[in-house]
Amino acid sequence: MNQPQTPKSSLSYFRWAFIVTALGLVLGAVLGWQTTGTIGGMATVFFICTVLAVLEISLSFDNAIVNANKLKEMTPVWQKRFLTWGIVIAVFGMRIVFPLAIVAIAAQIGPWDALVLAAREPAEYARIMNDAHLPIAAFGGTFLMMVGLNYFFNHEKQVHWIGGLEKMMARSATIKGIEIAFVLALMLVFSWLIGGEEATVFVHCAIYGLLTFLAVEVVGGLLDASQQTMSAAAKGGLGAFIYLEVLDASFSFDGVIGAFALTQNLFVIAIGLGIGAMYVRSMTIMLVEKGTLAEYRYLEHGAFYAILILSVIMYVQTLVHIPEVITGLGGAALIGLSLWSSIRHNRREKVEGHVARQEELHA
C-alpha cells in the first residue's frame, strides 16, 4: 500500500545550493590563498565570493519567478532538462563563457587568448569588459523591456495588481505593436541623450535586442504551436527552453558587468555568481512544486515590474553609473510589496468567505 508523500520543507529545496555554496566558498578561499599567499587575501576572496552570491540572488529573484511561470507550461521532460542542462548553461555559459566571448570579440583575439588574458592580466580584461558595457546594456535592457511589456500589454490578462495602470495597458494591447513602438521611442530618446558615435552603437545593439526577442517569440511559437505538427517532447518544451535561456542571459548581463566593480578575477566572479545561480534554480523549483505563484496572485506582477525597472536602469546606466545594490534592492522591494499585497488579498478573501458562510447559516 502506497504511503502518502510527506510535503517537502522549503529548506529541502536548497540542499544542492547549500552544498555548492560550501564547495564554492572553500574553492574561493583556496584561490585567494594561491593568488595572495596570505590569510587576509584568502579572507578577502572568501568575502567577495559571498557578496557576489548575494548580489546574484538579489538581482535574479525576479528571474526565478518568471522561470517558474514559464516552467508551469512546459512538459515534465523539458522541465527536468531546463533544471539540469539549463543550470549548466547558466553557470558555465553566462558566468564564464559569456565574459570570455565579449573580451574575445572586443579585443579581436581567440577564446583561449581571452582566458589567458583573464588569468594573467585581469586589469586589462576588466577594462575591456567595462568598455563593452554600453552595447551590453542596450541589448539586455531592450530584451528585458520587451519581456516586461509583453506581460502587461495582454488583453487576456484578468488579474491586476495596480488596477488603473494595468487595466489601461491590457486594453491598449488591442493596438498591434504598441509595446514595440514604446521601446523604439525610448531607444530614440536615449540615443539622443547619449549622442556621438556611442549613440549609433546603442541603437544598433538595442535593435539586436529587440530582434532577438521577436525571433525567440517566433521560434517558440513555431516549436510549441501545434499538437498535430509537433511531437509531445517539443510541445511546451524547446521553444520555452530557448526563451528561458535567452532571458537568463539578459538577466545575467548586469550581474556579470557589476561583479567587476568588486574583483577583476574572472574565476572569483564565476564562483560567486555560480553560487547565486544555484539559489535561483532552487527557488524556481520551489515556486513550481509548491504552486506559490497561484497562492500569491500578485507575486508575478511584482517580478515583471522589477524586470521593467531593471531594463530602464540598464538604459540609464549608459549615461550614469547606478550601483548594483540599488538595482537589487529595488527589485526585491517590488517583489516584497507584491507578496504583501497577495497576503492581504488572501486574508480579505478568507474573511469575506467566512462572513458569507455565517450569513448562509443565519438565513
Reading the chain (363 residues) residue by residue, the pLDDT tens digits are 445 455 667 778 788 888 888 888 888 888 888 877 788 878 888 888 887 887 777 666 777 777 777 777 777 777 778 777 877 777 667 767 777 777 787 777 787 888 888 778 877 877 887 777 888 888 888 888 888 888 888 887 888 888 888 888 888 888 888 899 999 999 999 999 988 888 998 999 899 889 988 887 777 666 655 444 444 444 456 777 777 777 777 666 666 666 766 677 778 888 888 888 888 788 888 877 777 777 778 878 887 888 888 888 889 988 888 776 677 677 778 888 888 988 888 888 888 777 777 777 776
The cell 438565513 sits on which residue? 363
Helix H segments across the chain? 15-36, 39-71, 76-88, 98-107, 111-120, 122-131, 133-152, 163-172, 178-194, 196-224, 238-259, 266-290, 292-295, 299-316, 324-362
As a residue count, the chain comes to 363
Enter the DSSP assignment of 321. -
pLDDT for position 186: 94
Spatial distance between the Cα atoms of 250 and 172, rounded to a whole number of angstroms: 26
CA neighbor of 253 nearest in space, from 104, 339, 144: 144
198, 134 contact by CB (below 8 A): yes
Burial 88-110 (b: 16+ CB within 10 A, else e): ebbbebbbbbbbbebbbeebeee
Q: Helix 76-88 crosses helix 266-290 at what angle (to 10 degrees)?
A: 160
From CA 298, how far away is CA 161, in angstroms rounded? 6
Cα 10 from Cα 281, distance rounded (Å): 13
pLDDT (0 to 100) of residue 55: 72
